[in-house]
Chain A
Amino acid sequence: MSLWEYANPKKFLATSERVLPFFWVSAGLCLVVGLVWGFFFTPDDFRQGSTVKIIYLHVPSAMMAINAWVMMLLASLIWLIRRHHVSALAARAAAPVGVVMTLIALVTGAIWGQPMWGTWWAWDPRLTSFLILFLFYLGYVALWEAIENPDTAADLTSVLCLVGSVFAVLSRYAVNFWNQGLHQGATLSLDKEENISDVFYFPLLVCIAGFVLLFIALVLYRTGTEIRARRIKALRLRERAAA
């Protein structure tokens, strides 16, 4: 069996319908367990007080904001190289989810920043690159809507996605590139022996799993919707041609 079989819309729809209940249920469970655990059953931080509870929303959404763009980049490359329509539609389906993830990261960051830094916003490398990533997301969604021909739209949005990837990478590594600004370094890193205290770490991992699973569920469902919308267009054209 080859991965490219799923480039067939019928095969993609049949498979996604089979696996979607698992992703919806496990995403809901992880989010409820992680957020309830983090909100109700973790202590305050000795410096940040109860604001540390925002970590369970801010970190997973920021991670998914970047990862959603990476997924769109891979799907766009597949479209540009192999011309599989499902991959272009998957990239299109992921963009609004990425918009929401980036918005959550920006909003929770501003709310968290106000009491900790004394300001809602600063032109700090990470914050600024995240804002630019958000604008790229909006531009990407707008470009899909603006172009009538779906193949041209897929081509142009794929190129935009390649350019925007620079900012997705910058958002992740901005703190390392420019050793300045208010934002702290990465909360979670594979290089460190201990990232944050286990009491915060484990509920955070459950929340991250919840955000990842929710993203997969949303993208699978939305890709199915895009495939059906494309089929409606084709059927209408056929109807019009026959009339």
Chain B
Amino acid sequence: MMPDLGKYAETVLSAYAASIVLLVAIVVLTLLRGRRVRAEMERIEEKAGRDG
């Protein structure tokens, strides 16, 4: 299944690994912060609604 990358295997694989790590990191960090901020806003809005 794995293509024969010859003498450049390390080069190609390291480029893919670095890029995929960076892409996954920005997506995960974006989603985590988004969830945290949304939950915080809902909590504050609920409290503000209760307190009138």
A residues neighboring B (CB under 8 Å): 31, 35, 39-40, 44, 49-51, 53-54, 57-58, 61, 96-97, 100, 103-104, 107-108, 111-112, 114-115, 214, 218, 221-222, 224-225, 228-229, 231-232, 235-236, 238-239, 242
12 residue pairs of the A-B complex, CB under 8 angstroms, read A49-B6, A50-B6, A54-B11, A96-B26, A100-B22, A108-B15, A108-B19, A114-B11, A115-B8, A218-B30, A221-B30, A235-B48
The residues of A that contact B5 with a CB separation of less than 8 Å are 50, 53
By secondary structure, the B interface counts as helix
Chain B: minimal CB distance from A181 (Å): 21
- Cα A44 to Cα B47 in complex, Å, equals 61
Chain A: minimal CB distance from B11 (Å): 6
The residues of A that contact B12 with a CB separation of less than 8 Å are 50-51, 53-54
The residues of B that contact A107 with a CB separation of less than 8 Å are 15, 18-19, 22
Chain A: CB-nearest residue to B41: A228
Interface size on B, residues (CB 8 A): 33
A40 touches B18 (CB 8 A): no
- Cα A58 to Cα B15 in complex, Å, equals 9
A51 touches B8 (CB 8 A): yes
Chain B: minimal CB distance from A117 (Å): 12
Of A54, A97, A231, A236, which one neighbours B26 at CB under 8 angstroms? A97
Q: A50-B9, A225-B33 are in contact. Are A236 and B15 (CB under 8 A)?
A: no
The residues of A that contact B26 with a CB separation of less than 8 Å are 96-97, 100, 218
Q: A51-B11, A54-B12, A111-B14 are in contact. Are A104 and B37 (CB under 8 A)?
A: no
The residues of A that contact B19 with a CB separation of less than 8 Å are 57, 61, 104, 107-108
The residues of B that contact A53 with a CB separation of less than 8 Å are 5, 12, 16
A49 touches B34 (CB 8 A): no
Chain B: CB-nearest residue to A229: B37
Chain A: minimal CB distance from B6 (Å): 6
Chain A: CB-nearest residue to B18: A107
- Centre residue among B12, B33, B44 by max chain A CB count within 10 A: B12
A232 touches B41 (CB 8 A): yes
B3 touches A40 (CB 8 A): yes
The residues of B that contact A50 with a CB separation of less than 8 Å are 3-6, 8-9, 12
A104 touches B22 (CB 8 A): yes
- Cα A58 to Cα B18 in complex, Å, equals 11
- Cα A221 to Cα B7 in complex, Å, equals 41
B15 touches A112 (CB 8 A): yes
